[in-house]
Copies of this chain bind each other. A is one copy, B any other.
């Protein structure tokens, strides 16, 4: 199987390195410099005290894709639209974005089997060709449109350190992850606390529950109590972690707020629902980005 991994961030590097051990991988990066570096040194993966190196062929994104069976898209959602036209015609495409805003873009892709994935690995990009695999999880994946044959193939021969698990319901898979992201990311980013404080501080926990109520009301979970437990369990399991949105804010980077809260605001608008807390956190995060010049 010939796979193109698109995006040289932490997730792109991780996927390219692991999949290269079983498949024929091409990694597409935004800059020529990063592609050159990877072609020279390979990708180094740090995992606990061990580390290993994999030779991967990298190319800059401006190049056309050759004949490939599967494209794995690991760019941020706000970078997605600019590469969408390049994807049309590839037989199978797996999207790894957070949130659900990208779902509406899929109608522009005719003729591809479309899959979405939810990555539960911890990964941190230490350099242009170095990634730290600091949390071994799995990638959940589900079919959105077309034939899932290739996804089954991927799952069947995935390694234990880099598993693919097939999910039946893509909507609930993404909605479940979004419900956690939509609560944990904005709260930790505004309060500037690690994830665990959202459940150990009784006032923040009340805040989490109020924001969660607005979020699940839009996403339409049947068992809201179970979903709340799922979100709180993530806070517990990742208690020491600083969320990706908090890290983005602290580093003055653009956040994924549009993919996360922006999507929910749109849905709420379509449903005619007032969502004062989602609106407030959206404005606060956008305002911080604006102040940093990240979104002018």
Contacts and interface: CB of A to CB of B under 8 A. Distances in A.
Interface of A: 190-191, 193, 197, 201-204, 206-207, 210-211, 276-277, 279-280, 283-284, 286-288, 290-291
Contacts of A197: 291
A204 B283 contact: yes
A280 B283 contact: no
Contacts of A283: 203-204, 206-207, 210
> This chain: how many copies in the complex?
2
A207 B291 contact: no
A202 to B, nearest CB: 7
Contacts of A279: 210
B193 A190 contact: no
A201 B293 CA distance: 11
Contacts of A203: 283-284, 286-287, 290
Q: Which of A190, A204, A210, A211 has the most CB of B within 10 A?
A: A204
Contact of A276 (B191, B206, B276): B276
A206 B284 CA distance: 9
Contact of A191 (B210, B277, B284): B284
Contacts of A202: 287, 290
A52 B220 CA distance: 67
20 contacts: A191-B284, A191-B287, A191-B288, A193-B291, A201-B287, A201-B290, A202-B287, A203-B283, A203-B284, A203-B287, A203-B290, A204-B287, A206-B283, A207-B280, A207-B284, A210-B276, A210-B279, A210-B280, A276-B276, A280-B280
Contacts of A288: 191
Given A197-B291, A201-B287, A201-B290, 18 more contacts: A190-B191, A191-B288, A193-B291, A202-B287, A203-B283, A203-B284, A203-B287, A204-B283, A204-B284, A206-B283, A207-B280, A207-B283, A210-B279, A210-B280, A211-B280, A277-B277, A277-B280, A280-B280
